[in-house]
């Protein structure tokens, strides 16, 4: 599944229709949530046999239109999606309960009533819309809207979502099912790269191509702070406050778009130049709890870069994996021992056992690549039948189904910049 996002330019009449549909949809969502809660209380207190679920609420929609004629102005698939959205909220609620019982520390989060400002999109599923040309989109019950379609859509369109962001811009997002049957993955990692992410250097790689962080948030911090102060001074509920809120949202969107553009271009460059990429499997959410580094970590957008690289590599038939980040910065990439005395302020590591001296981030990148190659080596060995087989131990050299270990290890060494004394040896 792939998403295509295009900017919409509705006129004043179409904006009013969209706002009206959002208002009715959020009222319907709250009414359905109240109905489920009442049914639960009746079942619990009076042992009534009421089963209010998605199917029950969906079947009530025709009766709802007869009782409240204003809902006839909304396309039927959009109303069904409101019930589906509530049903997914309940599914996520029960899933979180199960995860919490299994020991995961998360908030359960029962489905809540939606305010008008928190309900921002409507969804058409497979019908009710039509792409007229590269400049217009037809929506049932709304009309033909001007759209900037900057690229072709490849695949079968399954869903369309119309969303209004906080800066009052409108977007159309098409969910498309792509044909991936002809996608062939590389058999062995040639030209592999290990990547260590950081704050001083955004990424340090094993091919000595570091990238400095762009720091878009830091550069726009004064403008953002001024817009926040201007918003806080406005009277709540006034038009001036609404204008100040939109202005603040546009500044935030600009920073987000800059970061996303940089991340997309960098991830594409990495995937174009390498067919095997190894990242650290960082718990960024926990790292953000460090209040001294939280803003800098948010400004780097590590998670966005890693996710963009993963999906681009998958589409290109290449590999991008995550490895355990434990001791990647403190481990000597040549000898393999742990340098416990290496603190965060030391930017160059020196191993007392093998006398290796190199940049701290470069050393970590080599360790990440070592761990990535070791991970795929221990997880699967690709033979003539191209099957992934988990195997621990030595593979016999006379086995016709597998490639000999010596030959496979030599292939990895020739394809990677790992030192002879590294942990892959």
pLDDT tens sequence across 340-368: 777 777 778 877 777 778 888 888 899 89
Q: How far is CA 354 from the centre of its chain?
A: 41
Residues whose CB falls within 8 Å of the CB of residue 108, separated by 6 or more in sequence, listed in order: 93, 96, 97, 100
User: Which one, of 404, 306, 406, 321, lies nearest residue 370 by Cα?
Assistant: 321
pLDDT, tens digit (0-9, with 9 covering 90-100), for 166-200: 999 999 999 999 876 666 666 666 788 999 999 98
pLDDT at 407: 40
For residues 171 and 387, the model is more confident at 171
- Using CA atoms, how far apart are residues 191 and 266, in angstroms rounded to an integer? 17
Residues whose CB falls within 8 Å of the CB of residue 173, separated by 6 or more in sequence, listed in order: 3, 4, 5, 6, 160, 161, 163
pLDDT at 130: 94
pLDDT at 221: 94
pLDDT at 340: 74
β-pair partners for 2: 176
Which two structure tokens, joined as six digits, stand for 10?
A: 């509705």
Position 400 pLDDT exceeds 50:
no
Position 414 pLDDT exceeds 70:
no
pLDDT band at 412 (very low <50, low <70, confident <90, very high): very low
pLDDT, tens digit (0-9, with 9 covering 90-100), for 231-286: 999 999 899 999 999 999 999 999 999 999 999 999 999 999 998 999 999 999 88
Contacts 24+ apart (CB under 8 A), 138-144: 140/75, 141/17, 141/21, 141/73, 141/74, 141/75, 141/78, 142/10, 142/14, 142/17, 142/18, 142/21, 143/13, 143/14, 143/17
pLDDT band at 317 (very low <50, low <70, confident <90, very high): confident
pLDDT band at 17 (very low <50, low <70, confident <90, very high): very high
pLDDT, tens digit (0-9, with 9 covering 90-100), for 98-122: 999 998 888 888 999 999 888 999 9
- Using CA atoms, how far apart are residues 339 and 154, in angstroms rounded to an integer? 51
Q: Are 90 and 36 in contact (CB under 8 A)?
A: yes
Residues whose CB falls within 8 Å of the CB of residue 425, separated by 6 or more in sequence, listed in order: none
Give me the residue spans of the domains in the chain.
2-177, 193-210+267-415
Position 425 pLDDT exceeds 90:
no
Position 395 pLDDT exceeds 50:
no
Which two structure tokens, joined as six digits, stand for 141?
A: 């019950």
Whole-model pTM?
Answer: 0.79
Position 327 pLDDT exceeds 90:
no
Q: Are 268 and 312 in contact (CB under 8 A)?
A: yes
**Cα separations in angstroms, 220 against 217, 225, 251, 303, 357:** 5, 9, 8, 21, 38
For residues 21 and 51, the model is more confident at 21
pLDDT at 394: 36
β-pair partners for 143: 139
Residue bearing tokens 């780097």? 300
pLDDT at 409: 38
Residue bearing tokens 């029960």? 94
pLDDT at 379: 60
Between 57-61, 131-135, 332-336, 414-418, the lowest mean confidence (pLDDT) is in: 414-418
pLDDT at 134: 84
pLDDT at 418: 40
Position 60 pLDDT exceeds 80:
yes
Position 331 pLDDT exceeds 90:
no
- Using CA atoms, how far apart are residues 282 and 286, in angstroms rounded to an integer? 9
Q: What is the mean pLDDT of the chain?
A: 84
pLDDT at 244: 95
pLDDT band at 388 (very low <50, low <70, confident <90, very high): very low
pLDDT at 186: 60
């Amino acid at each position: 599944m792939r998403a295509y996002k295009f900017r919409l330019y509705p006129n004043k009449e179409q904006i009013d229709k969209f706002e009206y549909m959002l208002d009715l949809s959020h009222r319907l969502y709250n009414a359905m949530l109240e109905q489920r809660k009442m049914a639960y209380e009746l079942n619990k207190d009076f042992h009534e046999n009421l089963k209010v679920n998605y199917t029950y609420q969906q079947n009530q929609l025709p009766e709802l239109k007869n009782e409240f004629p204003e809902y006839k102005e909304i396309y039927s698939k959009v109303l069904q999606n409101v019930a589906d959205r509530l049903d997914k909220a309940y599914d996520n609620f029960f899933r979180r309960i199960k995860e919490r019982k299994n020991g995961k520390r998360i908030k359960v989060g029962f489905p809540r009533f939606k305010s008008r400002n928190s309900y921002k999109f409507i969804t058409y599923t497979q019908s009710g819309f039509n792409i007229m040309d590269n400049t217009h989109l037809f929506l049932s019950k709304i009309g033909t809207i001007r759209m900037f379609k900057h690229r072709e859509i490849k695949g079968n369109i399954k869903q369309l979502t119309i969303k209004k962001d906080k800066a009052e811009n409108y977007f159309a997002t098409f969910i498309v099912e792509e044909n991936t049957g002809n996608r062939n993955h590389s058999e062995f990692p040639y030209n592999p790269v290990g990547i260590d992410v950081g704050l001083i250097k955004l990424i340090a790689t094993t091919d000595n191509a570091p990238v400095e962080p762009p720091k878009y948030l830091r550069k726009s911090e004064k403008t953002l702070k001024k817009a926040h102060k201007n918003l806080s001074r406005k009277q709540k509920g006034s038009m001036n406050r609404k204008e100040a809120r939109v202005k603040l949202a546009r500044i935030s969107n600009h920073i987000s778009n800059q970061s996303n553009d940089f991340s997309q271009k960098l991830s594409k460059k990495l995937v174009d130049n390498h067919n095997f990429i190894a990242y650290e499997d960082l718990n960024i959410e926990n790292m953000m709890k460090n209040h001294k580094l939280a803003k800098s970590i948010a400004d780097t957008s590590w998670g966005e870069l890693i996710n963009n690289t993963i999906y681009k590599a998958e589409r290109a038939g290449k590999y991008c994996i995550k490895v355990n980040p434990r001791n990647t910065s403190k481990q000597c990439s040549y000898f393999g021992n742990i340098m416990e005395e290496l603190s965060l302020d030391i930017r160059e590591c020196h191993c007392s056992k093998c006398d290796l001296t190199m940049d701290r981030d470069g050393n970590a990148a080599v360790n990440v690549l070592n761990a990535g190659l070791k991970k795929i080596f221990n997880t699967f060995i690709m033979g003539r039948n191209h099957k992934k087989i988990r195997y621990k131990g030595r593979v016999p050299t006379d086995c016709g189904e597998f490639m000999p270990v010596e030959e496979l290890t030599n292939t990895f060494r020739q394809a990677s910049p790992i030192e002879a004394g590294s942990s892959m040896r």
